[in-house]
Copies of this chain bind each other. A is one copy, B any other.
């Protein structure tokens, strides 16, 4: 009998933010697949899981596909080869009857690399049993740590990878709350736009929500270059 592939969100960093279901599945599976990329965060998923649950004796498969993959590069040969190997290994274990957990930081449906793999797996075996276990995303965790609501009543929320600051004014006008992902890459530009719109005081910058080295800036002018990293986001609340 073929095993089930569980895609498990391990939450934003605090091991206690795994769900009961994620913890149970990690205890039960014999094999854990973890994305290994060039970007930070790949090995973090495994260390979060290991803090919550003993992984002794489990096989760890490292899926070597780049985290920075974009849709344009979808058919790049190098990526396809790396994926091919990952897909093959995962399918071998499933076909041998083992359940496999593919772990991902935060929630699997929010900017997780798993969905790139998903189509390939189903191409190979359309009948594959796949279950996605939702997790606490860094968006919700950051808002919780900053003690700010993302939305009340009929308010509108936009979650935007802040790769281009120039569109920001339109989003600021149209939404009650903006969550700017990857904001560390364009921090200066965002600061400038917020200043022009008189919204600097409405922004909170959160680094590593819920982790031991968490930082929360309620005055974003205090953010130093060393505070700009992958595990950060900004919430602008009008």
In the bound assembly, the distance between CA atoms of A110 and B151 in angstroms comes to 6
Are B154 and A110 within 8 A (Cβ)?
A: no
* Interface residues of A, count at CB 8 A: 58
This chain: how many copies in the complex?
2
Are B159 and A156 within 8 A (Cβ)?
A: yes
In the bound assembly, the distance between CA atoms of A150 and B148 in angstroms comes to 22
Q: Which of A7-28 contact B (CB under 8 A)?
A: 9, 11-12, 14-21, 23-24
A108 touches which one: B17, B144, B153 (CB < 8 A)?
B144
Are A17 and B21 within 8 A (Cβ)?
A: yes
A55-63, A131-139, A190-198, A214-222: which one contacts chain B? A131-139
Given the known inter-chain contacts A118-B147, A159-B159, A161-B153, please indicate yes or no for A24 contacting B19, CB distance below 8 A: no
Closest 7 pairs between A and B when the two form their complex, measured CB to CB: A109-B143, A16-B21, A132-B144, A134-B144, A115-B149, A157-B159, A134-B140
